[in-house]
Structure 1
Amino acid sequence: MKHMNYAIFSLLLAIGLLPSAVHAQWAPSEQQLDPVVQQIVNEAHHNSQLKQLAHELLDVVGPRLVGTPQMKHAHEWAVSKYKDWGIEARYEEFGEWRGWDRGISHIDMTYPRVKTLAGTQLAWSPTTGGKAVEGEVITLPNVKDSQAFQAWLPTVKGKYVLVSMPQPTGRPDHNWEEFGRPESVERMKKERDSLTEAWNQNIQTMGISSNSLPRILEEAGAAGILQCYWSREFGSNKIFGARTTIVPSLDISLEDYGILYRLAENGHKPRIQVETDSKDLGTVPTFNTIAEIKGTEKPDEYVILSAHFDSWEGGSGATDNGTGTITMMEIARILKKVYPNPKRTILIGHWGSEEQGLNGSRAFVLDHSDIVEKTQAVFNQDNGTGRVANIDGSGFLHAYDFMGRWLAAAPRNITADIKTHFPGSPSTGGSDHASFTAAGIPAFMMSSLSWGYSTITWHTNLDTYDKLIFDDLRDNVILIATLAYKASEEPELVNREKRIMPLGREGQPGQWPVIRQPRRTGVGY
């Protein structure tokens, strides 16, 4: 092995085919970087704009729910930033959605004591019209059959109904397992499993589904719907969309929800007062924000930097997908400065309505077949604040070749821990790279380290600026900027040959994902 050609070694190391011990033995003390890559590194380290971009997007603009004024503000902000950097950016409408503006909201317990409750309106929640509406809080009944549930329904009139199972603990499992006795941990999990089974069985006995319950309750005259979608992490709740059209739908923090539930179950008849002033804005456009650094030698061929712009409304959309957004913007800024005349056009796609089904990127693929047909590669980032840890070949048979060469050009301290899977498999969904992969375009998810993403920040009230890890984001900027630069410089369009898909469950040949239609109209959840 000591006689291995260094170029071959570098390739194998970059694509993750050599163990870390070999890395320690063979890595040279100094890596000679391409001059443009060295400039990328210098600019990213010494003139980073990531913190300022994060502040402006997350603190000033805030969450970017499709159909809200904040989504339009985000577009205007991004276009202004690109203009400052000498980059052209534009608005591309692809459909329409229900418009909504959050407004203020206050949730207070008024009996048996006064307490301001931690909670928020769900996206597209109906409003109280700025009036304070007070009512008793009740729980769902345990019923013997669907007729008993129907007989109970009239009792909800004018009341707020708790529709989520009360949790037996607000401590996440990892906290129990760190400090609890094994028998205590086991007892807690058995209690939770038993409660969950009984809760689901009761809903089934009612003859309804959990999703239909809010609408049924509002039609019966409930004053509002109270839920607690706990994320199994301290203080973290998932925040999605309202399923009511008349009365407010609110998510209440775990302990405040627990207080209300225990009071109601023990006959104390708690009361709350809710005041919301959200506004239904009618039908508004949905759109993508597109920026371009025009190519010089092959301007009609493209390298695409991809990240969705929209978010849910629980926090400020920091790690989903503020991080992807500011990463791609920072890459564009740096490339414009150190690589102002790329061979191919570098297109930055800030997709709208990703959270409702990849709608923006799917629309772009269908509306721009001329661009898609001549796209060299797509680099997508959408799963949190961590540094890139995994890259899958997305099912392209020769991805190991061109991606291996491009990765080898990046600083080794950034690529050394990246695991690669070639040729990998095409994604059927999950994020916007799947829209391009379905069209046969080499599109790669820059999959990041978790940092507790799935429970702490993904679609939660805790998805906020303070969770960002700027050192990791800077490394991602350097990595993806290098990949985009090398993809632009590639002499020809890369080989798009697809792998033979493995057999499915029933022994039938697997199929490559098909292009799917976006939702070009929508009303909410």
Structure 2
Amino acid sequence: MRKTFYFLTLCAGLSTSIFAQDQKETVEKIVKEATENSQLKVLAHELLDVVGPRLVGTPELKEAHDWAVETYTDWGISAENQQWGVWKGWDRGITHIDLVNPRSVSLEGMQLAWSPSTSSKGIEAEVVILPKAKDSLSFQKMINQVKGKFVLVSMPQPTGRPDENWEEWATPESFEKMKKDRDALNDAWDARIKATGYSSRELPKILEEAGAVGIITSNWSRGFGVNKVFSAYTEDIPMVDIALEDYGLLYRLAEYGDKPSIKVVAQSKDLGEVPTFNTIAQIKGSEKPDEYVILSAHFDSWDGAQGATDNGTGTLVMMEAMRILKEVYPNPKRTILVGHWSSEEQGLNGSRAFVKDHPEIVAGVQAVFNQDNGTGRVANISGNGFLNAYDYLGSWLNAVPDEVADIETHFPGAPGRGGSDYASFVAAGAPAFNLSSLSWNYWNYTWHTNRDTYDKIVWDDLQNNAILTAVLAYMASEDDEKTSREQIVLPVNKRTGAQMTWPEPRDGNRRGGLDN
């Protein structure tokens, strides 16, 4: 009996030792493939330079989906585009904005997403400031002033310098005075909008109905030369965003009575109803094909620039990780699936639809690894409220090379309720984790801005994240145990006094921009 026990113990020890050696060798192969044969720059060029931004409903997003399927197929990875809904189709054309009076100069700006088009000849008209009224009744009496005019509807910024620039160079007294003056301007502009009786979102349509020929915004992002670029709210007239510097020029000219005129050419196309997709690729599991390790990143972007760090970089990380795994780990124990979701920017719609449409995959999820917030090294991972997340995620992270895994963890954490596509899976009870990155001034300079471009990518950090993702996927796939889905007991909401509950799954909006 003792000999049998000794033999079994010896075998178990040898098995553990062999697995540890295999694990070490596989991780080394992952690192070598990522560092010596990186495809990140090639992929970035093809996605960001050639395809460009990927607004949902545009031809560019469909082109990106097709490119991804072709790329995965070339790597020997099964891939397809899965339609989950339809969207308002739109094709961004050329935007050109010129000041024509009292002098001539081309201005920096662009039409907002889904903006109506001008004719090929464009529109030339005077620029006026949103009328200043005492209340909504007086606003209705003044609104005829906008007929035949372009209307400025954003507050003119008193400075185009970010606060850190002021803090470095100004006297403390000057810095505080600037902030005080800016706060007063903000308050005054908020009061100006409120007096109209409409929200800033409703106002463009009201001005359009009053006969305005175009709406001009400037949504400064608190950095040098950076504006947020979102969507239009008009139906028939163009809505454009103009850079802080040129917007200030127009505002001052109008304020001083110089009657500025501009010419706007904004040639876009309304494409009607178009299908929208998720790209799904997978390496089938050899032992547990109905259990899934999911790599996750949204494919769509706003289209003020190239969508490089939101979320081109997350997309590149997941594609590169899949390529590496196919090369060094072609027969995973569990199925490794990657989801490139569309319409994340409008409310996680693609991933929510996938979760709704594929309960069998969600039921088999071992782990979801999502990356979204920029180009920086992954620096933070939360257990998202899964009680035993430390037991398995901590073990997987332990296999990541030290130079890659300088990561702060929070266990068990609290369930994510939005912000990125991992939340769609968390709501369904599947262990999903966001690989949260260092900032690199993401929120001011690249998040949804006109400066989210290829040159903002930090390649060493991106390579770091591809290695991290590939190792985590490998470890999750090889784990002998299925991950626990046990959830923490959530605390009482301090504000309401009510017991907090786990987020509920929601379906995606499957008819975006089409139903009023």
2:446 aligned residue: 457
Instruction: Decide which of 468, 480, 485 is 2:474's aligned counterpart.
Output: 485
Task: Tell me which residue corresponds to 1:8.
Answer: none
Question: Which of 333, 337, 341 is the equivalent residue of 1:351?
Answer: 341
Matches of 2:236 and 2:199, distance apart in 1: 19
Structure 1 partner of 2:71: 81
Residue by residue, what CA displacement relative to the aligned partner does 1:306-357 show, whole Å, maximum 9, x if unpaired? Answer: 0000000101100000000010000000000000000011000000100010
Query: Partners in 1 of 2:51 and 2:286 — Cα distance?
Result: 34
| Kept after mapping to 2: 8 A contact 1:414/1:475 | yes
Equivalent in the alignment of 1:414? 404
Aligned to 2:177, the other structure's residue is in SS state: helix
State the match for 1:61 in structure 2. Answer: 51
2:197 maps to what in 1?
Answer: 207
Q: Does 1:430 align with 2:395?
A: no
**Could you give the per-residue CA deviations for residues 119-146 of structure 1, whole angstroms, max 9, x where no partner exists?**
0010000000322210000001221221
**1:148: Cα distance to partner?**
1.6
Deviation at 1:492, TM superposition (A): 2.6
Aligned partners of 1:482, 1:100: CA distance in 2, in Å? 39
Maintained 8 Å contact 1:131/1:276: no
Match of 1:100 in 2: 90
Is 2:481 aligned against 1:517? Answer: no
Q: Distance in 2 between matches of 1:185 and 1:36?
A: 55
Equivalent residue runs for 1:380-419 within 5 Å: 380-415=370-405, 417-419=406-408
Distance 2:102 2:111 in 1: 23
Question: Counterparts of 1:83 and 1:379 in 2: how far apart (Å)?
Answer: 22
Match of 1:239 in 2: 229
Q: Any residues of structure 2 matched to 1:494-513 within 5 Å, and which?
A: 494-505=483-494, 506-513=496-503
Matched, 1:253 2:258: no
Q: List per-residue Cα deviations over 1:177-206 (Å, max 9, x = no partner).
A: 011100010000000000000111121122
CA contact (8 A) 1:129 1:278 kept: no
Deviation of 1:464 (Å): 0.4
Displacement of 1:33: 6.7
Give the Cα separation in 2 of the matches to 1:523 and 1:350.
Answer: 21
Identity %: 64
Stretches of structure 2 lacking an aligned partner (at least 5 in a row)? 1-20
Aligned length: 494
* Partner Cα distance (1:356, 1:202) in 2: 28
TM-score for both structures, normalised by structure 2: 0.94
SS of residue paired to 1:412: coil
C-alpha distance 319-300 of structure 1, shift in aligned 2 (>3 A) = same
Contact 1:33 1:411 in 2 (8 A): no
Are 1:474 and 2:485 an aligned pair?
Answer: no
Instruction: Report 1:119-268 matches (<5 A).
Output: 119-268=109-258
Larger displacement relative to structure 2 (60-69 or 500-509)? 500-509
Distance 2:223 2:318 in 1: 29
**Who is 2:10 aligned against?**
none
Kept after mapping to 1: 8 A contact 2:370/2:435: yes
Amino acid at match of 2:132: N
Structure 1 stretches of 5 or more lacking a match?
1-30
Report the 3-state secondary structure (helix = DSSP H, G, I; strand = E; otherwise coil) of the residue aligned with 2:166: helix
Q: 1:278 aligns with which of 241, 247, 268?
A: 268
- Structure 2 letter corresponding to 1:143: A
What is the deviation of 1:504? Answer: 1.1
Deviations 1:382-431 (A, max 9, x none): 0000000000001001111100100000001111x310000001101000
Letter in 1 for 2:429: G
TM-score normalised over the length of structure 1:
0.93
Verify: 1:90 aligned to 2:80, yes or no. yes
> Residue 369 of structure 2 aligns to a residue in which SS?
strand
Query: 1:32 Cα shift?
Result: 11
Task: Quote the offset at 1:469 in angstroms.
Answer: 0.2
Distance 1:83 1:145 in 2: 61
Q: 1:37 and 2:27 equivalent?
A: yes
For 1:171, the aligned partner's letter is: R
Letter of the 1:466 partner, please give it.
D
Q: 2:190 is paired with a residue of what secondary structure? A: helix
Secondary structure, aligned partner of 2:512: coil
Matched, 1:327 2:317: yes
Q: What residue number does 2:15 align with?
A: none
Distance in 2 between residues matched to 1:156 and 1:186, nearest whole Å: 36
Taking a change above 3 Å as real, the CA distance of residues 32 and 453 of structure 1, as seen in their structure-2 partners, is farther
